[in-house]
Chains A and B, each alone.
Chain A
């Protein structure tokens, strides 16, 4: 079975490394970007991840803006996008939902919980 690819978008090196380790341990391939803009450019240049995990508060392009733009990239309309952030306000959640996010997770999220959510939104994972 071909490993599913997950893209992590976060300005924190700690987040990228800890998520990368957790996901690779569970048999996923991991791609990463340090902000929304960099991630969007990679998606536009042909990267087609099976799932995207994005932070919300980031420099250059924030998570909500990134989700909105990513949904417009061809082939990513139905790709699950999870927001993983320290932000807890309902208003922000609603914004993300409106922008096209699939789910909202508040940091820190334990590895097994994250994998459980991924398996819920990514059939066949």
Chain B
């Protein structure tokens, strides 16, 4: 049953005044009659022969009833109010019973309700703890990965530096070798030039042998002429010169052979000197070309260029490695900072647990109220508001005290003030 037009007992306030008025009139009347009886006792005694107090009282009561009846007649309208009040009181009693039962039911339900909320909150805390621990595990993994990467980078940097150093040493060694080879080449070229000059000299000397061959040819020609003369003389001598003719013939043959040999020698000398001249010319050309191009210098320059390019690459690599290294350090610092921030879960847990405790306090109060309403206990439960101070006492955080102060309007005390976040004694 629901009351739609307000509680009937509320209407009592409007009819309170006539009710009091009637009562006051009645008692005034009784008092007045009693007073009159007291004053008029000698007359009453003489008039009605009343010798006993009871008779006087009866008279007074009778008079009172008469006066009350008269008053009731006068205040007939007000009496209707009295009956109405009685009716409303009856209705109020029913309403109060309903309200009490409803309130009792509500109070009875509070523990279930708060238990539900407490369980939800506890579950939420447990869930956040589980999730936060997973986050911690993952952060540890990230940190370990970062650390391994930094170690790898450190090792790569060492290797890279070692490589650069080896390369630089190698380049220096190569330059030294090239310098030695260059010197050697210069010395060799000088020697070759000397040798070529000597060969040239030799060739010239050989060339000078050609006139000597002419002398041999001339001697051979003259010998041939002599042999011819000797053959003529031998023929003139007849039989006696036959032997001499043979000798003259052999001498002529010898001179012919000498002549051929001299020609052959001259040809060969000519060929040799030509070939030597040609070779010397080629050798000089090669020598000159080598001097102009200087292959070793080019090789050295190429090596230096390679070294320079390698150095550039190494410095780019070094810069990249330094960048990765720096990023890794930032990651590690951030991980460390986040691990600190994760402590929010503990802060949150404590605040929620405080709320759970406060809800349980309300639970106890509901139990006490219920037993009071059921008549099991005479102790009147303390109002809920009085428990708010108890809640306040149990705060551990400055933020909790600030919220309490904001909601209740109670000012923050000096003890509530938060000290420095980090303090060394």
Contact = CB atoms under 8 A, between A and B. Distances in A.
Interface in B118-138: 129, 132-133, 136
Interface string A82-116: 00011111110100010001111111111111110
A57 B340 contact: no
Which of A17, A19, A115 lies at the interface centre, i.e. has the most chain B CB atoms within 10 A of its CB?
A17
Interface in A29-70: 56-57
Given A87-B396, A106-B421, A108-B344, 14 more contacts: A14-B346, A18-B343, A86-B346, A86-B347, A88-B398, A90-B417, A106-B418, A106-B422, A108-B341, A110-B337, A111-B335, A111-B340, A112-B340, A117-B424
A110 B419 contact: no
Interface of B: 129, 132-133, 136, 139-140, 143, 332-333, 335-337, 339-347, 349-350, 396-398, 415-419, 421-425
B333 to A, nearest CB: 7
19 contacts: A14-B129, A14-B133, A15-B343, A21-B136, A25-B143, A25-B335, A86-B396, A89-B415, A89-B419, A90-B415, A90-B419, A101-B425, A103-B424, A104-B422, A106-B419, A107-B343, A108-B343, A109-B422, A113-B422
Which of A15, A25, A120 lies at the interface centre, i.e. has the most chain B CB atoms within 10 A of its CB?
A25
B346 A112 contact: no
Q: Is the interface of B mostly helix, strand, loop or mixed?
A: helix
Contacts of B396: 56-57, 85-88
Contact of B425 (A14, A21, A97, A113): A97
Contacts of A114: 340
Contacts of A86: 346-347, 350, 396-397
B265 to A, nearest CB: 97
B419 A18 contact: no
Contacts, number: 122
Nearest to A106: B421
Contacts of B336: 22, 25-26, 110-112, 115
B349 A12 contact: yes
